[in-house]
Amino acid sequence: MSMLRGFLILVLFFLFGEALRLVFLIPVSGGVLGMILMTLTLMLRGRVSDALASSSQALISILVLLIMPGVVGVFFMASQFSGQWLAVSAALLLGTFLSVLTTLLLMKSMVRLSARSQAND
Amino acid sequence: MTELVERFVALPDIFAASPIFAIGLTLSAFFAGNWLFARMGRPVWMPPVVLSAVMLAAVIAVLSVDYVRYQEGALWITVLLGPATVALGIPLYQQIHHIRAMWIPIVVTLPLAATMAAVYAVVIAWAMGATPEVLASLAPKSVTAPIAIGITEQLGGSVPLMMGGLLITGVVATLFVDLLAKWLPVEDERILGFALGLNGHAIGTARAFEISHTAGAFASLGMGLTGVFTALILPLVFRL
């Protein structure tokens, strides 16, 4: 029961996010708006109910299951890439490699930098 | 006897019309993928989501189930992605003290890294002669699916192409984060989680939660911020 109550809260926040997106034409999905609203609400309240914690945990643990039907789509759209396969694969593989490298190096050096400045304070 | 066989052969067609078949199929592939992953000794280069997806695709092809029809049935599963995204706000809140302690690195890294994620892909594809439609489909490759759909439509790209790129990006971002974490090396779970969410959206975030709760929270943050930032910036940049 309590798990369902938590799920209802998640659904309501999602619907609220969707409503905001549709009414104010925000280019961000209802889910992400709902996530932001959820975090802000919890920060204001200062605590998470057990019902909400357990149902969010349950949904997060099956995240992979939820994205699977979409992932399978890759195998059924090969023809769409035709002719530009090489450019697309290079962009995806090399591009992602570079952006992951950029993120890790940037974040690593920033963390070191801010740790040093805090130590100096 | 032949009648029995005929009725048996007709079964996939009848089942395919019902969502419960798509649900059963997806769940089976999910558990089979996890089982195989454990049997293979949890290889980093082959995440369970890929194993499950390959098996699912094989079964759909063998049973000659129409993919579009499968998608319609599987909507009962994918529709939960909305509330699941909202659910990411809870670990985000629970880890807020970690995030507060790291707000400067986050604020500096995010705009640069999220922009470069799009720029690298678009420049490489452009240099190799991809059409503007393909470029518009590749640009939001690091953004979570529901937001990316909106961006691609705005830029004039193809949504199926974008979805394909998105999924490949998610999987390879997960592999590269694991790989580069060893090479560089980066051991801080917060940094790894943030890189997973920023580059690999929901797939990266799912992987981050396997590392730890903290990594997952940072991945949720990276995914959310990248989505919001890219949605606001990319349409402006693309107009130039």
- A26-60 pLDDT, tens digit per residue, is 777 788 889 889 999 999 999 999 999 999 989 98
- Residue A92 to residue A95: CA distance in whole angstroms: 5
Structural domain including B180 reads: 87-239
Q: Sign of dihedral through CA atoms A2, B213, B209, B93?
A: positive
| Domain match, B92 and B71 both | no
Asked if residue B18 has pLDDT above 90, the reply is no
- Residue A20 to residue B81: CA distance in whole angstroms: 18
**Domain residue spans in chain A?**
1-65, 86-116
Domain boundary pick from B14, B44, B79: B79
Structurally, chain B folds into a number of domains equal to 2
- Find the closest chain A residue to B220 by CA distance: A35
Per the CB < 8 Å rule, is A30 touching B82? yes
- Which pLDDT does position A69 carry in this prediction? 83
| Domain match, B74 and B103 both | no
Residue whose token pair is 């705009």: B111
| Domain match, B136 and B218 both | yes
| Domain match, B211 and B98 both | yes
| Domain match, B75 and B59 both | yes
- Residue A87 to residue A81: CA distance in whole angstroms: 9
- Residue B153 to residue B136: CA distance in whole angstroms: 9
| Domain match, B61 and B177 both | no
| Domain match, B74 and B128 both | no
Which of A96, A102, A112 to mutate against chain B (most B CBs within 10 Å)?
A96
| Domain match, B99 and B214 both | yes
Q: Which residues from chain B sit within 8 angstroms of residue A62, using beta carbons?
A: 84
Q: Among the listed ranges B32-36, B45-49, B116-120, B211-215, which one has the minimum average pLDDT value?
A: B45-49
| Domain match, B100 and B153 both | yes
- Find the closest chain B residue to A59 by CA distance: B84
**Shortest Cα–Cα distance, A23 to chain B (Å):** 15
- Find the closest chain A residue to B227 by CA distance: A28
| Domain match, B143 and B230 both | yes
| ipTM for the predicted complex | 0.86
